[in-house]
Chain A
Amino acid sequence: MNIVVAIKHIPSIADDLPVKGNNVDFDSVDFVLNEFDEQSIEQAVLVKEAVGGTVTVVGVDMIGELDGVLHLALAKGADKAVKITGDDPAADSHQQAKWLAEAIKGMSADMVFAGVQASNDLDGQIGPMIAAHLDMPYIGGVSSVEVAGDSATVNKEFAGGVGAKYSVSLPMVVGVQASTKPPRYAPVSKVRQVAQTATIEKVAPSGDAGSGLTFKKMAPPVVTGHAEMIEGSSKDVAKKIVELLKSKGLA
């Protein structure tokens, strides 16, 4: 089983997002691995552990700091790491999907995993577009994958707590929402050991694509209202809440 995991390095939202011009100020923000990609790496390693094979992790190096993420993926059980030297922190999901698809093309993948979406654009397009470029079927919103021979059983989640079980034939692209088990922990000693010994294959970006969208303006949300903090003892606070509800005709 030859599994490829396409990952995305995205600006961290642990802090307020700094804005410069009409985009994120990429120089003053940390980049992190998309959290859904953590799930998809885990799912790929679980499949490999179950049926054998290799896991190749591939991502676009947006700011020259992807190595750390790739080392982590290798420490968690991936076998190969590839970085596409994009060096364009503003590359959108259409462009990244094209670069990823071109890099994956020669890998004769049985399965391609991608996080179902990423918190920077939330458009969920990486997986479907890779599938389109590679002419492979796509299934997204997946929460478990079991492979048997050249087919797989996947659970897909729908809105409202509805789930469905699909039997799919390979090769195909899977958009992972959650792995069967929570992502494993990679001890730092292992990550550091990997960092010293691993080789990361570099691939030049190939192919142009864009969403056709241009940023006109980016700004932090405007604060329009304030929460009123009611102070005092719990009895006083409760009394004030009741008064407030009454005054608004709600009680």
Chain B
Amino acid sequence: MAGPIKAKFVEKEHAVVDGVDISGHWNRMFEQRVITEYTPELIEKIADLPNAESFANCYQCAKCVSVCPVDIVGNYGPRKLYRYAQTGMDLTEAPELWLCTTCKNCLRVCPKEVDMIKIMPAAREEAILQGKFVPAELQQAFENTAKSGNPLGQPQRKRDAWIKDAGVEIPIIKDLARPVDVLWYVGSYPSYHPRGIDAASAAARIFSALGIDFAILGKEEKDDADSQRLAGEKGLFEMMAESNIATFNNYEWKEMVVTGPHELNAFKNVYPKYGFDRPVIHYTTFLARHLDQLKELLKHEVNVKVTYHDPCYLGRHNGEYEAPRKLLEAIPGVELVEMQRNRENGYCCGGGGGGMWMDSFTAKHTTMRLSEKRAMEAASTGADVLAVACPFEVSRFADAVKSTGNEHVDVLDILELLDKSMRGE
């Protein structure tokens, strides 16, 4: 295809229209820009993919760009992707393909319901199946998930190694050999990442103190793979989903509590399409339900100013904004302050949609990490603690407060704050 034909301009030294002198610089345009010079081929290439049809709906209003967390640290946004496709960019080959974190803020404001949460995974899957460029770190996370059952590449049989130092007994459902009220799906980062283990241990102590009849899957637990799906590896997701559903259905339990919002999204919204349909809730919702009983346990003051970061997959994707705040407000001594972007308009940490495993790639295409932007916003509230409720976030923000010179801000999971108040440590 030859390059686009440049729009013609009309040059007049002196122009008067309806008696108004509109003379100006030579590049002032007096005629409408001709837009038929662009071909819709590369837009159709994306919109023809299953689930990506809404890409063609875009009418370039740009509401999405103003709320896109990636645009705030770079030059990106769904409207721009459409425009780039119109002017010759094949999304399946462009670095832009990997920048979306599927945070869903664009869909929230889009009058045409252009659904990037469906478009990006479809376009990424196409790129992966066609053997196009895939960021090496992401490839590693995929391979780790397929080989080891978790994106960190840690051995499966060490998945429950953390429980011995939690300070309370954590029953494994297989050993318990009886039905339980709550099956607690711990998650990969809380099982393996040192800061994740801190939150998991806190959760175990809280569940135990509340007298919850719970158990975990232990060595049988595997990654939910929802972020791998959003990053384009649907085959991997389906393999993990089949295996997880079989494991979940091996045991009798009334309700599943998950540590992570991504797992919540997977098990509640996506696994049902694969035949799994049992009650799943996030730990914040679960604990908020036990708030009265929990308050009695929160004996020690934690005198800190806290700001709370809404995880995209807990808030925008699953509508839970209040439970985390109720839990924080229940802690004696805690003063909760809000960041400017909160709740429905909460900023993204950059970890969703596979972003967790593309940090160095994304860093090359943005001015700063999304987590760094958010860490600065948190620090600007004067908060001592940035509270989170997603296992991706603790490590991301812990790095970001350091790299932005805000080490004085502690990054803690809500579980850790509750545990502090419970134990006075």
Chain A residues near B (Cβ < 8 Å): 12, 14-15, 30, 32, 182, 184-185, 187-192
Pair A189/B234 contact, Cβ less than 8 Å: yes
Write out the residue numbers on chain A whose beta carbons fall within 8 Å of the beta carbon of B146: 188, 191
User: Does chain A have a CB within 8 A of B278?
Assistant: no
With A187-B233, A189-B235, A192-B235 known, 17 other A-B pairs at CB within 8 A are: A14-B148, A14-B155, A15-B157, A30-B155, A32-B147, A184-B131, A185-B128, A185-B134, A185-B142, A185-B143, A187-B128, A188-B142, A188-B233, A188-B238, A188-B239, A190-B235, A191-B235
Pair B131/A189 contact, Cβ less than 8 Å: no
Neighbour of A15 across the interface among B136, B155, B233, B239, CB < 8 A: B155
Write out the residue numbers on chain B whose beta carbons fall within 8 Å of the beta carbon of A187: 125, 128-129, 233, 235-236
Write out the residue numbers on chain B whose beta carbons fall within 8 Å of the beta carbon of A12: 155
Most buried by B among A15, A32, A188, A191: A188
- CB-based closest 8 A-B pairs: A189-B235, A188-B235, A15-B155, A188-B236, A185-B139, A187-B128, A185-B134, A14-B155
Pair A189/B129 contact, Cβ less than 8 Å: yes
User: Does chain A have a CB within 8 A of B153?
Assistant: yes
Neighbour of B154 across the interface among A14, A182, A192, CB < 8 A: A14
Closest to A234 in B: B407
Write out the residue numbers on chain B whose beta carbons fall within 8 Å of the beta carbon of A182: 136
Write out the residue numbers on chain B whose beta carbons fall within 8 Å of the beta carbon of A185: 128, 134, 139, 142-143
Closest to B145 in A: A188
Write out the residue numbers on chain A whose beta carbons fall within 8 Å of the beta carbon of B134: 185
B99-139 CB contacts (< 8 Å) to partner A: 125, 128-129, 131, 134, 136, 139
Mind listing 7 A-B residue pairs with CB under 8 Å? Answer: A14-B153, A185-B134, A187-B125, A187-B128, A187-B129, A189-B238, A190-B129
Pair A15/B235 contact, Cβ less than 8 Å: no
User: Does chain A have a CB within 8 A of B158?
Assistant: yes
Closest to A193 in B: B235
B interface, over-half SS:
helix
- The contact size tier of chain B is 20 to 34
Write out the residue numbers on chain B whose beta carbons fall within 8 Å of the beta carbon of A184: 131
Q: Report the separation of the CA atoms of residues A188 and B241 in the bound assembly, to the nearest whole angstrom.
A: 13
Q: Report the separation of the CA atoms of residues A191 and B234 in the bound assembly, to the nearest whole angstrom.
A: 12
B143-168 CB contacts (< 8 Å) to partner A: 143, 146-148, 153-155, 157-158
Write out the residue numbers on chain B whose beta carbons fall within 8 Å of the beta carbon of A14: 148, 153-155
Q: Report the separation of the CA atoms of residues A12 and B156 in the bound assembly, to the nearest whole angstrom.
A: 12
Write out the residue numbers on chain A whose beta carbons fall within 8 Å of the beta carbon of B131: 184
Write out the residue numbers on chain A whose beta carbons fall within 8 Å of the beta carbon of B157: 15
B10-49 CB contacts (< 8 Å) to partner A: none
CB distance from B185 to the nearest CB of A (A): 22
Write out the residue numbers on chain B whose beta carbons fall within 8 Å of the beta carbon of A191: 146, 235
Write out the residue numbers on chain B whose beta carbons fall within 8 Å of the beta carbon of A32: 147
Q: Report the separation of the CA atoms of residues A187 and B134 in the bound assembly, to the nearest whole angstrom.
A: 11
CB distance from B103 to the nearest CB of A (A): 25
CB distance from A63 to the nearest CB of B (A): 15
Q: Report the separation of the CA atoms of residues A83 and B209 in the bound assembly, to the nearest whole angstrom.
A: 55
Q: Report the separation of the CA atoms of residues A167 and B177 in the bound assembly, to the nearest whole angstrom.
A: 66
Q: Report the separation of the CA atoms of residues A204 and B139 in the bound assembly, to the nearest whole angstrom.
A: 35
CB distance from A101 to the nearest CB of B (A): 29
CB distance from B352 to the nearest CB of A (A): 21
Most buried by B among A32, A184, A187, A192: A187
Closest to A184 in B: B131
Q: Report the separation of the CA atoms of residues A187 and B145 in the bound assembly, to the nearest whole angstrom.
A: 12
CB distance from A40 to the nearest CB of B (A): 17
Q: Report the separation of the CA atoms of residues A192 and B136 in the bound assembly, to the nearest whole angstrom.
A: 22
Most buried by B among A32, A189, A190: A189
Q: Report the separation of the CA atoms of residues A241 and B128 in the bound assembly, to the nearest whole angstrom.
A: 49
CB distance from A26 to the nearest CB of B (A): 15
Q: Report the separation of the CA atoms of residues A141 and B357 in the bound assembly, to the nearest whole angstrom.
A: 31
Closest to B139 in A: A185
Closest to B144 in A: A14
CB distance from A167 to the nearest CB of B (A): 30
Known: A182-B136, A185-B139, A187-B233. A192 touches B158 (CB 8 A): no
Q: Report the separation of the CA atoms of residues A182 and B134 in the bound assembly, to the nearest whole angstrom.
A: 11
CB distance from A65 to the nearest CB of B (A): 12
Write out the residue numbers on chain A whose beta carbons fall within 8 Å of the beta carbon of B236: 187-189
Q: Report the separation of the CA atoms of residues A107 and B236 in the bound assembly, to the nearest whole angstrom.
A: 34
Q: Report the separation of the CA atoms of residues A12 and B155 in the bound assembly, to the nearest whole angstrom.
A: 9
Q: Report the separation of the CA atoms of residues A119 and B146 in the bound assembly, to the nearest whole angstrom.
A: 21
CB distance from A228 to the nearest CB of B (A): 20
Q: Report the separation of the CA atoms of residues A192 and B155 in the bound assembly, to the nearest whole angstrom.
A: 22
| 0 or 1 for each of B340-360: is its CB under 8 Å from A? (1 = yes) | 000000000000000000000
Closest to A76 in B: B131
Closest to A183 in B: B139
Q: Report the separation of the CA atoms of residues A128 and B401 in the bound assembly, to the nearest whole angstrom.
A: 52
CB distance from A49 to the nearest CB of B (A): 10
CB distance from A75 to the nearest CB of B (A): 10
| 0 or 1 for each of B200-239: is its CB under 8 Å from A? (1 = yes) | 0000000000000000000000000000000001111011
CB distance from A218 to the nearest CB of B (A): 20
Write out the residue numbers on chain B whose beta carbons fall within 8 Å of the beta carbon of A189: 129, 234-236, 238
CB distance from A81 to the nearest CB of B (A): 18
Q: Report the separation of the CA atoms of residues A122 and B41 in the bound assembly, to the nearest whole angstrom.
A: 53
Q: Report the separation of the CA atoms of residues A137 and B139 in the bound assembly, to the nearest whole angstrom.
A: 35
CB distance from B154 to the nearest CB of A (A): 7
Q: Report the separation of the CA atoms of residues A50 and B239 in the bound assembly, to the nearest whole angstrom.
A: 33
Most buried by A among B134, B153, B155, B234: B155
Q: Report the separation of the CA atoms of residues A32 and B143 in the bound assembly, to the nearest whole angstrom.
A: 12
Q: Report the separation of the CA atoms of residues A182 and B137 in the bound assembly, to the nearest whole angstrom.
A: 12
Write out the residue numbers on chain B whose beta carbons fall within 8 Å of the beta carbon of A188: 142, 146, 233, 235-236, 238-239
Q: Report the separation of the CA atoms of residues A242 and B277 in the bound assembly, to the nearest whole angstrom.
A: 61
B229-254 CB contacts (< 8 Å) to partner A: 233-236, 238-239
Q: Report the separation of the CA atoms of residues A15 and B234 in the bound assembly, to the nearest whole angstrom.
A: 28
